[in-house]
């Protein structure tokens, strides 16, 4: 009997793997075709190209599903040179295995299909139906500086994440390799021994396999978070966003001090943090509100990672303890911040988070 969502997982893994062929090619270029969006965040030719490739594969296999993607193609319709640059990247991307490529519908046919695929990510999201959440290059700033990034895809059904896939080209394949303070710094590589594909299906656990160039040739390897109790929480490794504008570094330091954690936090971009703690390379991921910055998280920035951590034995909540709600549209407007940790210590970490944030409120 076929496992629930087996087809969706297979297509999602192949689609993400194919998209990383493009992102890795752009990663090694000095000029990455960078633009600034309306919110001042950067976007590259890799973001547009990867979104087109993944959405084309979803539409081929699940034509009735809604897609919520980060990018849209209006700029490309107005900029012939940029559109041509992206098309030249996308048209040459295909998996080495013909059968796997056929599953995804083959190459994108022309510039018209390119633009249509990108704009098909304009779904509104919500609590009903099948909705794919896509971030084609999560951690664009890390991508630009030569750090960590991820290609992220999740299937949300009636508001609940059912399938999650993360392609992390610059993380080690070895699940036992611990994070270090250098893991998110400039100078990362997708060379030998690098590139991992994380995945999870609700109720079926989390897994990893090496990223490849063709069929999914390596079997899934189950992954699990490190088992920690409140008594040994001082041995935990924290992960946080590389950018101080994305998460309060000073609050993370204060929370670590409360928990008697002396190891320095590992700062890296993207949902690679979720994958890293899911396989016990790190332990706790905090994304904390930045004072003076009103920001609502997007569903594509968390959906896949949230499921992978929970299926690996962790708990994911916001800073108030509520689960992340992916049924409210394109954003997590019902949540503030993220606290992800092993089940045995999540409550303790959350207690410290609340205490530090309360002190900040009292000190205004």
**pLDDT: which is higher, 32 or 153:** 153
Known catalytic residues are 47, 140
Tens-place pLDDT, residues 280-327 = 999 999 999 887 677 899 999 999 999 999 999 999 999 999 999 999
Measured distance CA(211)–CA(216) in Å, rounded: 8
pLDDT for the residue 29: 86
The reported pTM is: 0.96
The total number of residues shown for the chain amounts to: 364
pLDDT for the residue 173: 97
Q: Would you say 161 and 141 are in contact if contact means Cβ atoms under 8 Å apart? A: no
Q: Would you say 269 and 147 are in contact if contact means Cβ atoms under 8 Å apart? A: yes
Q: Which residue has the tokens 């849209």?
A: 72
High-pLDDT (> 70) share of the chain, %: 96
Q: Is 274 exposed, middle or buried (0-12, 13-18, 19+ CB in 10 A)?
A: buried
């Amino acid at each position: 009997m076929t496992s629930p969502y087996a087809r969706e997982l297979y297509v999602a893994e192949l689609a993400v793997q194919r998209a990383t062929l493009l992102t890795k090619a752009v990663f090694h270029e000095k000029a990455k075709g960078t633009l600034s969006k309306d919110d001042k965040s950067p976007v590259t030719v890799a973001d547009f190209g990867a979104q087109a490739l993944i959405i084309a594969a979803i539409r081929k296999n699940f034509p009735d599903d809604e897609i919520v993607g980060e990018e849209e193609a209006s700029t490309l319709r107005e900029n012939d040179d940029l559109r041509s640059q992206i098309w030249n990247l996308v048209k040459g991307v295909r998996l080495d295995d013909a059968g796997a490529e056929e599953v995804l519908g083959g190459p994108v046919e022309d510039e018209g299909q390119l633009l249509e695929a990108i704009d098909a990510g304009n779904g509104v999201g919500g609590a009903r139906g099948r909705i794919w959440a896509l971030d084609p290059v999560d951690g664009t700033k890390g991508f630009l500086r030569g750090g960590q990034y991820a290609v992220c895809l999740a299937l949300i059904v009636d508001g609940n994440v059912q399938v999650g896939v993360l392609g992390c080209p610059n993380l080690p394949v070895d699940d036992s390799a611990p994070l270090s303070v250098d893991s998110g710094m400039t100078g990362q590589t997708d060379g030998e021994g690098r590139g991992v594909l994380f995945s999870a299906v609700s109720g079926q656990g989390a897994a990893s396999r090496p990223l490849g160039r063709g069929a999914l040739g390596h079997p899934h390897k189950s992954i699990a978070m490190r088992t920690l109790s409140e008594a040994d929480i001082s041995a935990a490794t924290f992960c946080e966003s590389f950018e101080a504008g994305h998460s309060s570094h000073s609050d993370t330091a204060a929370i670590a001090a409360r928990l008697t954690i002396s190891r320095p936090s590992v700062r890296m971009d993207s949902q690679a943090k979720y994958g890293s703690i899911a396989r016990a390379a790190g332990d706790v991921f905090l994304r904390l509100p930045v004072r003076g910055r009103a920001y609502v998280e997007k569903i594509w920035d968390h959906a896949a990672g949230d499921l992978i951590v929970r299926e690996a034995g962790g708990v994911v909540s916001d800073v108030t303890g509520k689960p992340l709600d992916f049924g409210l549209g394109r954003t997590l407007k019902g949540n503030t911040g993220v606290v992800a940790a092993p089940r045995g210590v999540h409550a303790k970490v959350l207690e410290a988070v609340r205490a530090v944030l309360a002190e900040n409120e009292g000190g205004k």
